[in-house]
Structure 1
Amino acid sequence: MPRRVHDFRGLTQPRRLQLLHAIQRVPGRRIGELASECGIPLNTVRDHLRVLEDEGLIRSETLAVGTRGRPPVVFHPVRESASNPAATARVEGASERGRMLRAVTQQDSGPLDPDAARQLDVLYEHLDDAGLEPVVDERALSFDLAPCRYHDMIDEDRALVCGVHARLVEDVLRHTEGPLSVERLEPFVTAHQCRLLLTLEPPAPR
């Protein structure tokens, strides 16, 4: 599988997680709305959003409202990798590294077709970059994960932290077209391990 190449700085601060969660929950939010909801100063929100966008986790959109003054900017999750250059680069880079590593090691992807194997490669690198130390079982379509680094937030708001990661996994799988989708994310199956289970969608009827 691909090796880790870049950390997601965007996922290293709880406030960025709050902002990303707010954008995932209600896409198309303006900076002022996000600052008010999350209780974060406006200039700090701008800085955090810039990091999230630079890492391909969100995208900005300038609205044409037909009035004077600076047009408003709203923020969306990156659902399609083509909507954000950083997301596109991550998908292309992970796909190529996975292809090369499989060729060098002559690693067999088992019953998976090339599209599913590529999805696994891209998802593996995403999870590795997020610091979750993934261990993949390609035949079982499962990932064992180390709990994320926000242990101080987990007890306070586990739904927020786990929800952000689950939605990101769904988005990453959509970034790379293929038959895999999320079945479920099981937080803390042990004190030191979470588990992500994928499912193979049946081919669409012709």
Structure 2
Amino acid sequence: MAGTSGTYSAISSFSRVEILHLIQERPRRTIAELAEATGLHANTVREHLDRLTEGGHIVRETEHRTTRGRPRVLYSAATGEAEASSPIARRKAREAAERGDIMRRVMPWTGSSVNEIGTDATHQLDAIVDHLSESGFDPLVDDKELTIDLTPCPHATAQAGHRATLCSVHLGIMQGVLTEARGPLLIDGMRSSCNPEECVVQLTTR
């Protein structure tokens, strides 16, 4: 999951990965909570949160207070659900589907998945492939087995000590992308393997 271009630049820093991991575990976090949990200065946390918001990975809301005091800003992971849907992530999913439809019109032989899994699921795959490609991967999608092969995993050696956190965060992002694209596909998990460089994500249907 390495790379610094496009979408993935928002989480190219492990500090941002750590912050996003905390937010995925529990939504509606404040800057003060995240600063305390990570040991980072509040201003540094705020900068990281801005990057994650711009990448479509988190959403922010202003706290509704019934007492005196300035309302806090609360941060949640962009899950794609109504209460945590990112307009940036929605736009990216829509644009990916539009590009996919154009490609299938120009090269009809690439559109077999529409007949196999339907238009909505195909658009979800468009969105996830775009996301992964921008993240520095070369994803290999099997629309019959519903798998996405990301082998070799760059974190197997480069970030071996943080691999569990990195994989958890990226699987959460991938699920958010699928949900924003509005279709039947869900992340089922990663296929187990004795090879640490092997990374195959299994999808399932609702």
TM-score normalized by the length of structure 2: 0.86
Q: Between Structure 1 and Structure 2, how many residues are aligned? A: 196
Which structure features the higher share of helix residues? 2
- Runs of 4+ with >6 A deviation: none
Please name the residue that 1:204 is paired with: none
Looking at structure 2, the residues matched to 189 and 103 of structure 1 have their Cα atoms a distance apart, in angstroms, of 41
Looking at structure 1, the residues matched to 194 and 142 of structure 2 have their Cα atoms a distance apart, in angstroms, of 16
Looking at structure 2, the residues matched to 30 and 100 of structure 1 have their Cα atoms a distance apart, in angstroms, of 42
Shift of 1:32: 0.5
The correspondence for 1:137, drawn from 138, 142, 148, is: 142
Please name the residue that 2:188 is paired with: 183
Shift of 1:148: 4.2
The letter of the residue matching 1:84 is S
Shift of 1:131: 1.7
Please name the residue that 1:153 is paired with: 159
Looking at structure 2, the residues matched to 150 and 12 of structure 1 have their Cα atoms a distance apart, in angstroms, of 16
1:170 correspondence with 2:172: no
Indicate the SS of the match to 1:165. helix
Which structure features the higher share of strand residues? 1
Please name the residue that 1:85 is paired with: 87
* Aligned CA distance change for structure 1 residues 151 and 41 (closer, same or farther; 3 Å): farther
Q: Which has the higher contact order (CA 8 A, sep 6+)?
A: 2
Identity, in percent, stands at 34
Looking at structure 2, the residues matched to 136 and 46 of structure 1 have their Cα atoms a distance apart, in angstroms, of 36
* Aligned CA distance change for structure 1 residues 49 and 98 (closer, same or farther; 3 Å): same
Indicate the SS of the match to 1:190. coil
* Aligned CA distance change for structure 1 residues 192 and 11 (closer, same or farther; 3 Å): same
The letter of the residue matching 2:86 is N
TM-score normalized by the length of structure 1: 0.86
Looking at structure 1, the residues matched to 168 and 67 of structure 2 have their Cα atoms a distance apart, in angstroms, of 37
Structure 2 gaps of 5+ residues are none
Looking at structure 2, the residues matched to 150 and 34 of structure 1 have their Cα atoms a distance apart, in angstroms, of 27
Structure 1 gaps of 5+ residues are 202-206
The letter of the residue matching 2:46 is R
Is the CA contact 1:170–1:181 (under 8 Å) kept in the aligned structure 2? yes
Note the alpha carbon deviations across 1:107-136, whole angstroms, 9 max, x for none.
Answer: 121411111111111111111122222111
Q: Please say which of residues 166-175 and 45-54 is displaced more in the overlay.
A: 166-175
Please name the residue that 1:127 is paired with: 132
Please name the residue that 1:94 is paired with: 96
Please name the residue that 1:194 is paired with: 199
